[in-house]
Chains A and B, each alone.
Chain A
């Protein structure tokens, strides 16, 4: 199959590689670039565990083709770990024991980061809307929502 050369910024570093036109961004990140925080929970856009930031906006990397990342800026939790809002969120998530198995955590944290970077005074409804695409089977969501609210208050 024809290979494409693509280049993009991944967590602040420039990467270039060859992909097939049908290669999915999530698979390329995990399989070829060693980036493991985005997870494959459903491979069809339903669960949000594959969430990454593309040019500052959350996308489901299981629904994006790798060729779409050409020229873009991709940030995963590995890269977001140094962002201000991500760190504040992580601190409260930790204190409040917000996650259990943790499989949904990278996706939830990126969705919450996107929200707070654009709106530092969200209502509870805004918070819920921001993470409504991230399924969590363990927590019942309450500790996650509470931790985000607390992060907002504590800023």
Chain B
């Protein structure tokens, strides 16, 4: 497919830094710079690294209860096992930690709060011995009443998951309610809700529910720690967040005398993240264990089962929505209550709740708005970031509800969306203003692509065809001061090494960073190397999450490249007495507009300088550094209304449509066609954007059609493996996927770019639910929308 053709020409074109010239590298689908390494099997992931014969292995002792008091731990038998080097319990580490709220311990100290929680660890010379040792640790528990449901957790007599909530420290934009299970309550109040409902011709109220989901990156988490004799801690982690991890390790373990400079985190390629490898989960255990066996590296490797039950999961959500609409099809009021099951620890998950609460209006102009997004502790595994960060969950309810209301009023659901879609400058739920957006273009392109309005018939009389189209938006959820930085250095032959700490998680970050530098410096991508981070050597990046690194890290790289360019031009001006304003870079040379025969090759001077007439050398190694922080952002607002701050930097918007075939008897669904248009501002590499669209859609559809985490009443996960928790195989591909790239430039993005990684999965649930209704007339209000559910609903409707 020729992707260049799919790109809608920018309305306000991103300016080339060489004014008047076309972009030559940015906007091209160059092959990934990490392509060969991965395709040849040469790419090293954390568990592929070698640590020699001294490597130790850790295995965990885990809680069998969802909620219990630890009465005693007897490690004596395990310690005696031949090959066991150390047995570690919670008593050794008493400092709480967390990303946004300090509510976790390295090991459970006196209370366990979910099935599978780490209570102790056995470190041994061999993984099998470590496991056997873990089996010999005897823990005596006193079981406590547990709560597994976010709504029940709000009842007066519900067991409290964190009775000490009052003493926990957290970011200033969280509002926990001590004495309850409410860890955070994000409120948005805008306009006059009562008046909005009075102005409505139709008010509809309903509840939509979304279960928990697992990321299922194919590479399980792994971490190796080495605390050496000089007192420094080096961690090799499979992580989206090396710098955030370094900070959490240093803060949590500071009683051992560590400071940030003593902690080094090295992250190699990771085999998929999707949010699951953001923040800190099992890595803190490896860091703590390393401190107990100085001088010896210790490895902690998650099994697939642990990957399911003891990393972050996607939050479960019950969404109560009440919406008012006028006959003309204007949303007059929206009252949205989101109850989130965030699990036993919410140090990361509470920010998902916050992000969803800020944006649950969807990409629509809603003047009278009330949102309550409530983060609730339960005795299920902790939840955290998952591609989409809460937006998939609220969009299921919102976009289902919008289609239903439009239909009820006899309005066209797509026209309805077009009418209400947000515009540049419109007021956002928290009072700031919307960035430039190509959402209308996206709606239009998708509408055409799925032949909206044309009813289609299946060749098979048992099957019906339904269509649906929905909209989406998402903003990076990050602290207001989350920043990115980059170093760029030239080599003797004019090639370049770029150091950043944005993570290559599959999305193609390294390639995109190379393209940005290439565009500025006229050095081909093939001569640029960008490596995965090492916190000792690479400059700071907050985390690779929220689809923000193309934008944030990309800005830092662009600034680093511009700085290097300045240094080159200054040097040439100084030595050759040419006016800087006449100089430009082209094809790895410095050239001059006023002196056409002047051409100085980079490789002739970027390390060793330029020889002046007196035979001395001027200059020296050319380098650049760049820093980016969104200085306009602020997270502080009125806790009762959410008004006042500027918590979100910008929104990426889009629309998606589907043609779905549904078997009336079996409920089996087949995606005949799906089209997704996303406004990425500027597609720096269209092929990689397409990769995000195609991959994100299938991950999204899997959450609707197959996946579902099942717990028993004791809080034990029943399907922690790929046989019972099915993720799609190649057989589950949609028949046709049409990626559509819209480019309305983001003014503060590198070459106009904004993020796109998560957006491609978030519209999937309402797409399916709406198309099912269009096809067979039944409305499913709980995810997943499995074929059984559809078949049963069709059967029930017939009666």
Given A41-B218, A97-B508, A142-B737, A128-B730 contact (CB < 8 Å): yes
B contact residues around A93 at 8 Å (CB): 35, 39
Nearest opposing residue in chain A for B301, CB measure: A40
Q: Which one of B270, B506, B722 lies within 8 Å of A135 (CB-CB)?
A: B722
Residue-wise, chain B 312-350 has the 8 Å CB interface mask toward A (1 for contact) of: 000000000000000000000000000000000000000
Question: In the complex, A5→B232 CA distance in Å?
Answer: 41
Set of chain B residues within 8 Å of A136, measured between Cβ atoms: 218, 730
Determine which residue in B48, B269, B696 has the highest number of CB atoms from chain A within 10 A of its CB, and name it.
B48
- B31 surroundings in chain A (CB, below 8 A): 94-95, 97
From B41, B45, B691, B728, A76 is in contact (CB under 8 Å) with B41
In the assembled complex, how far is the CB of residue A50 from the closest CB belonging to chain B, in whole angstroms?
11
Cβ of B663 within 8 Å of any chain A Cβ, yes or no, is no
In the complex the two chains form, is B39's CB within 8 Å of A42's CB?
no
Let me know if B218 and A135 touch, CB within 8 A: yes
State how many angstroms separate the Cβ of A89 from the closest Cβ of chain B.
8
Query: Which one, B216, B271, B303, B733, contacts A43 given CB within 8 A?
Result: B303
By a CB distance below 8 angstroms, the chain A residues around B180 are none
A138 near B219 with CB under 8 A, answer no
Q: Could you mark each residue 668-707 of chain B with 1 if its beta carbon is under 8 Å from any beta carbon of chain A, else 0?
A: 0000000000000000000110110011111100000000
CB pair A141–B730 under 8 Å, yes or no, is: yes
Q: Is B533 an interface residue (CB 8 A)?
A: no
Give the distance in Å from the alpha carbon of A135 to the alpha carbon of B307 in the complex. Answer: 16
Contact A37 B41 (CB under 8 A): yes
When distances are taken between beta carbons in the complex, the residues of chain B under 8 Å from A94 are: 31-32, 35-36, 39
**Residues A41 and B41 in contact, CB atoms below 8 Å apart:** no
Q: Does B43 contact A (CB under 8 A)?
A: yes
Q: A42-B722, A94-B35, A103-B272 are in contact. Are A36 and B48 (CB under 8 A)?
A: yes
8 Å CB contacts to A: which residues of B24-75?
29, 31-32, 34-41, 43-45, 47-48, 50
Q: Which range contains the number of A residues in contact with the other chain?
A: 35 or more
Among A30, A132, A137, max chain B CB count under 10 A is at A137
B27 CB to nearest A CB, Å: 15
Chain A, 18-38, CB within 8 A of any chain B CB: 30, 34, 36-37
Given contacts A137-B727, A140-B698, contact A105 B721 (CB under 8 A): no
- Please provide the chain A residues from 74 to 101 with a CB less than 8 Å away from any CB of chain B in the complex: 76-78, 81, 90, 93-97, 99-101
- Inter-subunit contact B35/A97 (CB<8 Å): yes
Residues of A within 8 A of B508 (CB): 97, 100
- Please, which residues of chain A bring their CB within 8 A of the CB of B19? none
**Cβ of A104 under 8 Å from chain B:** yes
Q: Mark A97-117, 1 if CB is under 8 A from B, else 0.
A: 101111111100100000000
| Cβ contact within 8 Å between A138 and B48 | no
Write out the residue numbers on chain B whose beta carbons fall within 8 Å of the beta carbon of A78: 41
- A109 touching B39 by the CB < 8 A rule? yes
Number of interface residues of B (CB under 8 A): 55
A119 is an interface residue with CB less than 8 A from chain B: no
B220 in the interface, Cβ–Cβ < 8 Å? Answer: yes
Determine whether the beta carbon of A39 is less than 8 Å from that of B698: no
A12 at the interface (CB under 8 A from B): no
Q: A70 vs B690: C-alpha distance in the bound complex, in angstroms?
A: 45
A34 to B50, CA, bound (A): 8
Is A140 in contact with B737, judged by CB distance below 8 angstroms? yes
For residue B728, give the distance in angstroms from its CB to the closest CB of chain A: 8
A131 to B723, CA, bound (A): 17
Most buried by A among B41, B507, B694, B737: B41
Is the C-beta of A152 less than 8 angstroms from some C-beta in chain B?
Answer: no
Chain B residues with Cβ below 8 Å from A30 are 48
User: What 1/0 flags go to A50-63 for Cβ under 8 Å of B?
Assistant: 00000000000000
- Of chain B, the residue at the smallest CB distance from A80 is B41
Shortest beta-carbon distance from A73 to chain B in Å? 18
Say yes or no: is B729 at the interface (Cβ < 8 Å to chain A). yes
Question: Quick one: which of A36, A47, A101, A109 has the most chain B CB within 10 A?
Answer: A101
The answer to whether A39 touches B688 (Cβ under 8 A) is no
Which residues of B699-747 are within 8 A (CB) of A? 699, 721-723, 727-731, 733, 737
What are 9 contact pairs spanning A and B, CB under 8 A?
A: A39-B219, A97-B687, A101-B271, A102-B39, A102-B506, A103-B217, A138-B272, A140-B698, A140-B737
Q: A101-B271, A137-B215, A141-B730 are in contact. List 4 more A-B contacts (CB 8 A).
A: A41-B220, A94-B35, A101-B273, A137-B216
